[in-house]
Amino acid sequence: MRDLLSIENLRAGYGEAVVLPDMTLRLADGEVLALLGRNGTGKTTLINSIVGATHRFSGTIRLGDTDLTPLRSDQRARVGIGWVPQERNIFRSLTVEENMTAVAQPGPWDVERVYSMFPRLRERRKNFGNQLSGGEQQMLAIGRALTLNPKVLLLDEPTEGLAPIIVDELLAALGEITRAGGICSIIVEQNAHKILRLADRVVILDRGTIVHEATSVALQADAAPLERFLGVGGKA
Enumerate residues 6+ apart whose C-beta is below 8 A from 54. 12, 13, 14, 19, 45, 48
Report d(CA 128, CA 151) in Å as an integer: 28
Q: Is residue 234 in a domain?
A: no
Q: Is residue 20 in a domain?
A: yes
Q: Is residue 236 in a domain?
A: no
pTM of the model as a whole: 0.93
Looking at residue 3, its pLDDT comes to 86
Looking at residue 235, its pLDDT comes to 56
**Per-residue pLDDT reduced to its tens digit, 102-142:** 999 999 999 999 999 999 999 999 999 999 999 999 999 99
**Per-residue pLDDT reduced to its tens digit, 164-216:** 888 888 888 988 888 787 789 999 988 888 899 899 999 999 999 999 999 99
Rg (CA), the chain: 17
Q: Is residue 235 in a domain?
A: no
Query: For 58, how many CA atoms within 13 A lie in the half-sphere containing its CB?
Result: 3
Report d(CA 21, CA 26) in Å as an integer: 17
Q: Per the structure, how many domains does the chain have? A: 1
Task: Give the domain CATH number at 116.
Answer: 3.40.50.300
Note whether 10 and 24 are within 8 A (CB).
yes
Note whether 36 and 42 are within 8 A (CB).
no
- Whether the CA torsion 142, 146, 150, 152 is positive or negative: it is positive
Looking at residue 5, its pLDDT comes to 96
Q: Could you tell me the residue range of the domain that residue 144 belongs to?
A: 3-228
Reference 3, options 41, 23, 33; nearest CA is 33
